[in-house]
Amino acid sequence: MRWWLVACLLATSVAVRADAYHDLRAALTQRLLLMDDVARFKWNGALPISDPARERALLDTLTESSADEHLPAQYLSGALDAQMAAARAYQLQRFAAWLANDQRRFAGVPDLQTEQRPAIDRATARLLEAIRSERCIATDATREQLLLDGPPTISPDVWALAVNGLFPMPRRDCARLDASESPYSGRRLRQPRVLAYLRAQELETER
């Protein structure tokens, strides 16, 4: 019976790891692909790709509003700065290709202020949630797998900027077991929780 329980718990742990990994990859991809329309808007208006003052203010605001005991401000500042660097690199590559092909104005580009930036904000929030879900199980192997698993429409250089900026993830409180939760508690399942539960079962059996 005990080995059956071990197998079930470990299988659940593997499934949670896979879900968290795919959520993280999807969130990174979604945010970067939004830069297609950002670049088109800037191309149409002959606007600069980089706006250092606005980016600094946005970075400070995001860090202050999102930091907590699990995602410290220092980590968030570095991770979000890396996403902005990846976004700039993505747009620069688009501009280079359009210049080489004598690209004219694009039609039907969503407004940067009223449509695109809210979408980017939502994508950033999704990415932060994915980091919260992944941070206790992410390792160097996770980072290496992400680097190898980049989307075909995003260059390896840009993808590496985005991925590497998230690692190493903060692991504060990751080993703490909340005794009020079942080890089957969905996405929050972690290996220490599995082991603690098994030990509790052993002690119960010995009584």
Could you give all domains of the chain from N- to C-terminal order, each with its CATH number?
A: 2-206 (1.20.59.10)
Cα(25)–Cα(116) distance, integer angstroms = 21
> Of the candidates 17, 52, 29, 39, which has an alpha carbon nearest to the alpha carbon of residue 123?
29
Question: What does the pLDDT look like over 18-27, one tens digit per residue?
Answer: 778 999 999 9
CB 84 within 8 A of CB 152: no
Would you say residue 183 has pLDDT above 60?
no
Label residue 207 by pLDDT band (50, 70, 90): low
**Cα–Cα distance, 130 to 8 (Å, whole number):** 24
- Does pLDDT of 53 surpass 70? yes
Mean pLDDT of 107-123: 97
More confident of the two residues 70 and 36: 36
Whether 8 shows a pLDDT value over 50: the answer reads no
Give pLDDT, residue 63. Answer: 95
CA 107 vs. chain centroid, Å, equals: 31
In the chain, DSSP assigns E strands to none
* pLDDT of 97 over the 90 cut: yes
Q: What is the pLDDT of residues 118-175, one digit of tens each?
A: 999 999 999 999 999 999 999 999 999 999 999 999 999 999 999 999 999 999 888 7
Tokens standing for residue 95:
């501009």
CA dihedral 37, 65, 136, 184 (to 10 degrees): -100
pTM of the model: 0.78
